[in-house]
Structure 1
Amino acid sequence: MKSHVHKARLRAAIAPAALVLTLGGALVATPAIAQEATVAAPQVNDDGNPRGEVIIVTARRRAETAQAVPLAISVIRGDSIEATGNFNVVKLQQLAPTLQVYTSNPRNTSVNIRGLGVPFGLTSDGFEQGVGIYVDDVYNSRVAAATFDFLDVAQVEVLRGPQGTLYGKNTTAGAINITTNQPTFDFEGRAELTVGNLNYRQAKAAISGPLSDQFAARIAVAATSRRGTLYNVTSQRWINEQDNLGLRGQLLFKPTDNFSLTLSGDYSKQDPECCGTVFVRVGKTQRALNRQFDALAAAQGYEPPSRDPYKRLTDLDSQLNATNKIGGASLRAKWDVGGGTLTSVTAWRFWDWKPANDRDFTGLSVVAKSQNPSQQDQYSQEFRYNHESEKIDYVIGLFGFKQRIYTQGTEQQGVNASKWVLAPSSDPFAPANNPATLAGLTASNTQWLKSTSAALFGQVSWKVTDQLTVQPGARLNYDKKSGFYQRIVTNAAGAVISCTPIPEPGTVAGGSSACGVYQPQVSAPSDSAWNFTYDFNVNYKLARDVLAYATYAKSFKTLGINQNGLPLNADNTVNYDAGTVKPESVNHYEVGLKTQFWGRRATFNLTAFRTDIKNFQATVNGGQFGTVRGYLANAGKVRSQGVEADFKVVASDRLTGYVNGAYTDAKYKKFDNAPCPPELSGGTLQPIGAVPDYSNAGVPGTLSPRQCDISGARLPGVSKYALSYGAEYNIPLTLLAKEGQIYAGVDGNYRSHWNSNASPSAYTDVKGYALTNFRAGFRGQGIDVFGWVRNAFDVKYIDLLQVAPGNTGLIAGQPGDPRTWGMTIRGQF
């Protein structure tokens, strides 16, 4: 704890810098890496008018108002998250326009900011996140390990732009920083219950208080369940349900005012029957017409249960499961010493993933089994020291990280595979007409990854004058990755097959049919790299409530290795050169203006940015079932640029509102050797060295380019225009002897169209959509009761489209949630 003199100086500094918040569904665009934040009591101006609440952040390792920190971030309060029903990371994009979160299952979840972050598509363990996810100072290395429900959250900060000179793991696109409520020495508690349609049930509870003069504890629990949104006519069950449980416990030891020690532990489990898809459409490829979806389906007497995805019918015949166990423990120490604060964060986290999927997206047994269970342990240690003075503030830190991942995959062909995968023939004895040709063919994958990272980082803030501040930062980073991948292929009899001209000892010849689907493979990529990066920020206070800033950052994303198998060369041999992927080199430019006016009841912030990346790490997919399922490659150049604007107002004690918008132009500047989209795939490959011919897109039986130049195409998953908004109006009321207010609120978001394939395709374009939510209720004296409707106008939209393997033209997808409604009651003491 700081001295009384320092606290007085802090109060004097923040008093004139109130930040406007909407009381329900608030989104506050602020410029900070908010590690810990508190919300002060409502403030009033000199004329007695309301001016919102003060958000305190520690972006530069000291407490200050959010509007005073010259970086771009959206701050979302915990009560706003609860009021709007955005209870996990996936849902946050409805509140933060520059955030993109897409998921086909917890493991295959991509979180991007401004279109950058992780490669869009199947997840590989061998790359780093570009968007870091932190919970109470602890870095979560995999997006899948952060798909838990928010539990007892104080607030969430979505940082935009490169981070890394202040703490933790380096991130090139931004960070999501989650701060939970901490133990208190005053007894307090809260409980919440929500019920709704689709058998929706959610319960939350938290209690905190002293155990002695020096010890305090906090315990929180949350459980969520909901019926699925898709009906599987094969299993006669609703699938894609929610079944989540979360627990967190914290113990605070504070023997003196200048030292504290917090021990935290958490565990969460998701165990739904998930994640299935529905038929969306068929797009013509360059495969022979009799080998495309409609012909293949007709040949086996198959028809999807519906060709309208919004009927929400599927017929998947393979087992579905998405069991996700996440947890860990951390020990955080803070010691005020030498005029500054020394912080140590020691953490261990685990992730246990047990999936089962239907990889052919149909009711036929083409792929009978597809599952890649995975287990991860990560260990991290961070030391930071931050110091404040009249002219110079600084932070310096050390970060160490170690990760181990083990995966055991199985993919097996079913009885319908031969006719679906192999070339058709009128000969009744041809391989395609014999189900036994491929049925039971199994690829068993074993892989592990060991990753080590260490960094020295620091940042200095020099107050040249009362108005001008110069803020340089630097980071020295070391990364090492070692991986192993082995695929063993067995036939229906369990014999190990070989695809070499002369079978290896102990194996049998696989034959062209089996080897065309799965090939044995062993690889052990390993690499290491040092990186030095830096940033430089200049900010100037143009007036009391007007701050201008400019930032340049030279950043990187470290090297990657391919962990899901390697692609094949033209002669069908393994391309071992693809084992490692070059680091990304990032140049980032940003300017911003942060303002408050109308007696500080209104806040308007504006940001313009440009990010240039060389050797962009992209996920590419060859379209086959198992041979080249998905791997990392470097695109030459990528650029993301745009403008973000955030406006919020406290018009009166009764009315509040916000509007946040973003324009994002994210595209490949140079990617001339990309995989081709479905309409340019599936045919016999053009001759080696031939100039790619793109003129026969979607024409069956024509030649397909070996690779495509998609330079100038937009990055996948990015809407050019995005908007979120909200407003709330209240009226004072005494109800059942409780003074409070009745209120009504609305919030919504809009996203323009975007593409759902790494190489943009006409078949995977997702139409833009707008969602609107309403709520109304009563709050007062420790109680809040409200009803809500989400997607009130029952808009039909797609969350994600996926290209089915095999170049058959099948496009499957996951429709977004329909209209849902319910009621929440919340009490606290």
Structure 2
Amino acid sequence: MMKVISCALLASSALVAPLTSHAQTAPKPDASAAPAEADAGDPASSSAAQQSGGGVAEIVVTAQRRSENLQRVPVVVAVSTQDELQRAGISDVQNLKLVAPGVEVQSLNGSALPIVRGVGSKAIGAGIETPVAIYVDDVYIAAATSTLLSFNNIAQVEVLKGPQGTLFGRNATGGLIQVRTLEPTSTATGRVAFTYGNYQKARVDAYVSGGLTKDLAGDIAFSSTTMGKGYGRNLVNGAEVYKIDHDFGVRSKLLFRPSDATSFKLIGDYSSARNSMNAAKIGPGATAPAPYGPAFTGRTWDIAVDEPPLVKNEQGGVSLRIDQDLGDIQIASITAYRKSTVYSSFDFDYTATRGRYAEFKVRDSQFSQELQLLSPSGGSLTWVAGAYYFKASARYPFAIARFAGPAVIPTNPPTIQQTTRAEQKTDSISGFGQATLAVTDGLKLTAGLRYTSEKRTLADATQFLTRTDGSTVTLVPLYTESRRFNKLTWRLAVDYQFTNDLMAYASYNRGFKSGGFNPQTLTAGSFRPEVLDAYEVGFKSTLFDRKLRFNASGYYYDYKDVQLIRALPIGTGIYNSAKAEIYGVDVEAVARITNELDLRVGYQYNHGEYTSFPGAQVAVPRAAGGYAITTGDVSGNTTVLSPKSTLSATGTYTVPVGGGSLEFSGTYYHNSGYFHEPDNVIRTPAYDQLSGSIQWNVENGLFVQLWGNNLTNVAVPAVDGVQSLGTTGLRRTVWAAPRTYGATVGFKF
């Protein structure tokens, strides 16, 4: 480990040295030179500050729970503003990789599965949370089925890389995605856009904001998407698949400011979606074991199954944020409640054979209460302290696997259905604090602690078989079980502001993700917490009269008790017998080449390896088709979903036209490829994607955009891997979107 850290330090030193010499003429920073920081209640979603002197824009983030200049925060944060997301053609959380290298968001049966720097999980189920937390306007969203977000009134998206073990309510080993929406304004503003693309995809977005009274402002955002055609077709019944039947969402805020020191913000949202984006098939190059099959080998996005794929999702929530400035202290209270229901059904053998069919329905509810106490900004000592309470319930009213063809359990040939019922409850409370001390002019030390006590309960769990005559056989008698997990996590950091435009830092963070139960497969038992220790060094610089922002970091992760998914005869489960080592380099450059040309480049090198992993699930290809499912030692293998290198580059060229402008934008993304399972049997090869847009902005607020995504039409899995069928298994693949293109017409005021 020390060798890796030394290499990272040397690399950063080599990069910092020329930057320091370049900036020697700049004055030393003092308190007056620091950028103005908003109070705790002013969300950084007011975002990118105006560009100064034609240079790159200042970005405001809340990585340390207060609004700060991105370049003064000793944390790696990838930030994308509303305009950047629009130009890159990013309308949902799944495509964030295009602007944030090292970030991948996979999708399985309506669940979002984010991965940052190779830390993530493909596990889904009632009460199963991901190692990368997703927040919307400071509210944590626990259910993975509720995080496949469609973007509309987005101000900016912040991706915090590395464990967040101190300041954020739910400890996250991999990182955090913070989505910030627009704030209501006292003056009337708005945006309406109509989009139509191939596959008869139609989308309407609308946003309106304005003052209701002297102290009260409100807004409402609306979005609706439908597709007349799917990316593919089910050749068994001719039905369209990979198709959005509807995706509707509405979100509204009320902002009440009775005084300069007090604000109340009430947010409500509701969304409903129905699609067949879980259209799985036998993966490329794989065959199905008898008696299933034959595997379909036609067009990539076509399938041939006897049971149609379907995902239905309905969710909503409400939150209230109260901010009070008392002068010497600022108080913030965030109260939130959310509820969601997701239903998913799919062919479980992924062929036209009348074999396996599965469906499940998960109902989630959560309540959270956070209290923050913040010192004023700008002093020699700044601090944040608080407490966080989280209570959640996720239950399977039913999770069913039906066996209409070949017998799955030879001793019970009449059996056609296996049902699992369970509820996973979470009751968590934590206290946290972090302080930053300006030791000398330019030198700051940061220290933070968080103590979490979390109780997990698997309640009313049972599993039984139902025969064709209606009789049942109990496999797992009804039971309830609880476990408590207590953990202290921390953050230590030092940063030095060499000049107003150059800062270097080093940090050590510990993050953990609670243990829990496997409600999908009760026989899998419980799993332990995972712990990640992260060491990082880096620098942030703004050069050439603010024409270039260049940031880089090197990191090393010591990852213990890694929670990984394994395929089981009925469903999946989490086990954690692995230890891993991950290290790499993050680089980002944002440049204003000329007044017309902007360029943003991000690169990440990432090396992940299981240093110890005995008893891992291993899939061995069988000559007769499918895979033999066994166990083995995969120590030394590459960690899952960890490409060695990812690169994204976006260029925007703006040409004045009359009183408006033409914007030409293009994004290139490269991924060196990655493995889907710890056994390193199934791999997505290296691929490249291109996206682009041309937008005409008219002086009166009208705009017209022509856009195209994945112009190279590369087939990339949304999720891939081996599904167990007892002692054998098969490769099943769900594909992400192919080439899409279309036009958007809108109006802003």
- Structure 1-normalised TM-score? 0.82
After the TM superposition, which residues 660-739 of structure 1 pair with which residues of structure 2 at under 5 Å, given as runs? 660-679=602-621, 698=622, 707-734=631-658, 739=659
The CA deviation string for residues 657-690 of structure 1, in whole angstroms up to 9 with x for no partner, is 11101111122111101112243xxxxxxxxxxx
Kept after mapping to 1: 8 A contact 2:688/2:712: no
Letter of the 1:674 counterpart: A
Q: What is the rounded CA distance, in whole Å, between the counterparts of 2:405 and 2:379 in structure 1?
A: 74
1:332 offset after TM fit, Å?
Answer: 0.5
Q: Aligned partner of 1:373: which letter?
A: K
| Aligned match of 2:7 | none
Cα distance in 1 for residues equivalent to 2:355 and 2:235: 18
Deviation at 1:215, TM superposition (A): 1.2
3-state DSSP of counterpart to 1:90 = helix
In 1, distance between residues paired with 2:304 and 2:465? 28
Counterpart in the other structure of 2:59? 55
Task: Note closer, same or farther for the CA distance 1:490–1:619 as it changes in structure 2 (3 Å cut).
Answer: same
What is the match of residue 39 of structure 1? 48
CA spacing shift, 1:617–1:35, aligned 2, 3 Å: farther
Are 2:179 and 1:255 aligned? Answer: no
- What's 1:163 paired with? 164
Does residue 379 (structure 1) correspond to residue 367 (structure 2)? The answer is: yes
Quote the residue 2:469 is aligned against: 493
* Aligned counterpart in structure 1 of residue 91 of structure 2, from 48, 70, 87: 87
Q: CA deviation at 1:126?
A: 4.6
Which secondary structure does the structure 2 equivalent of 1:393 belong to?
Answer: strand
Between the aligned partners of 2:237 and 2:97, the Cα distance in structure 1 is 32
The answer to whether the 8 Å contact 2:567/2:722 transfers is: no
Could you tell me which residue of structure 2 aligns to residue 511 of structure 1?
A: none
What is the correspondence of 1:312-391 to structure 2 with a 5 Å cutoff? 312-367=301-356, 369-388=357-376, 390-391=379-380
Deviations 1:601-657 (A, max 9, x none): 0111111111112211111223x2x2xx32121123112211111112101111111
Alignment of 1:719-798 (within 5 A): 719-734=643-658, 739-761=659-681, 764-781=682-699, 782-798=701-717
- Gaps spanning 5+ residues in structure 1: where? 1-8, 18-32, 45-49, 285-291, 424-430, 432-436, 499-518, 568-577, 680-697
Check 1:805–1:705 CA distance in 2 against 1; reply closer, same or farther (3 A cut): closer
From 109, 113, 122, the equivalent of 1:110 is 113
Pairs within 5 Å for 1:118-197: 119-120=121-122, 122-197=123-198
Aligned to 2:11: none
Is residue 143–residue 364 contact of structure 2 (8 Å, CA) maintained in 1? no
Deviates more, 1:588-597 or 1:56-65: 56-65
Distance in 1 between residues matched to 2:548 and 2:669, nearest whole Å: 21
Deviation, structure 1 residue 439? 5.8
Aligned partners of 1:34 and 1:177 also within 8 Å:
no
Instruction: Give the root-mean-square deviation of aligned CA atoms.
Output: 2.5
Determine if the alignment matches structure 1 residue 277 to structure 2 residue 266: no
Kept in 2: contact 1:649–1:658 (CA 8 A): yes
User: Retained in 2: the 8 A contact 1:469–1:538?
Assistant: yes
Look up the SS of the partner of 1:675 in the other structure.
Answer: strand
Deviations along 1:693-731, one digit per CA (max 9) or x if unpaired, are xxxxx4669997852101111122221111111101122
- Show CA shifts across 1:100-121 (max 9, x none): 21112213x321111113x33x
How much has 1:809 moved relative to structure 2?
5.4
SS in 2 for 1:164: coil
Work out whether 1:821 is the aligned partner of 2:741: yes
Kindly indicate whether the alpha-carbon contact (under 8 Å) linking 1:223 and 1:245 is maintained by their aligned counterparts in 2: yes
Contact kept? 1:670, 1:712, Cα under 8 Å: yes
Percent sequence identity over matched residues? 27
What residue number does 2:559 align with? 613
Letter of the 2:672 counterpart: S
> Aligned partners of 1:241 and 1:580: how far apart in 2?
36
Q: Which residue of 1 aligns with 2:550?
A: 604
Is 1:556 the equivalent of 2:512?
Answer: yes
Secondary structure at 1:67 match in 2: helix
| Structure 1 residues 660 and 184, CA gap change in structure 2 (3 angstroms) | same
Describe how 1:440-479 pairs up with structure 2 within 5 A.
Answer: 441-479=416-454
* Structure 1 stretch displaced more, 333-342 or 446-455: 333-342
- Kept after mapping to 2: 8 A contact 1:10/1:63: no
Compare CA radii of gyration and give the structure with the larger one. Answer: 1
Q: 1:196 to 1:398 in 2, by over 3 A?
A: same
For the Cα contact (< 8 Å) 2:627–2:728, is it kept in 1?
A: no
Residue of structure 1 equivalent to 2:537: 591
Provide Cα deviations, 1:24-51, integer angstroms capped at 9, x if missing partner. xxxxxxxxx985443222210xxxxx21
Q: Secondary structure at the residue paired with 1:82?
A: helix
CA distance in 2, matches of 1:779, 1:751: 33
Aligned residues: 710
How has the CA–CA distance of structure 1 residues 560 and 809 changed in structure 2, closer, same or farther, with 3 Å as cutoff? closer
Q: In the alignment, is the contact (CA less than 8 A) between 1:281 and 1:810 conserved in 2?
A: no
Relative distance call for 1:453 and 1:35 in structure 2 (3 A) is farther
Partner of 1:13: 34
The one-letter code sitting in structure 2 at the alignment partner of 1:262 is K
Distance 2:256 2:663 in 1: 40
Q: 1:250 to 1:556 in 2, by over 3 A?
A: same
**Contact 2:89 2:691 (8 Å CA) reproduced:** no
Q: 1: CA distance between counterparts of 2:91 and 2:441? A: 41
Partner Cα distance (1:42, 1:479) in 2:
45
Instruction: Provide structure 2 residue ranges, at least 5 long, that are not aligned to the other structure.
Output: 1-29
- Secondary structure in 2 aligned to 1:757? coil
Contact 2:324 2:332 in 1 (8 A): yes
2:205 corresponds in structure 1 to: 204
* Whole-angstrom distance in 2 between the partners of 1:819 and 1:319: 24
Q: Distance in 1 between matches of 2:663 and 2:199?
A: 26
Q: Is the 8 A contact 1:35 1:137 kept in 2?
A: no
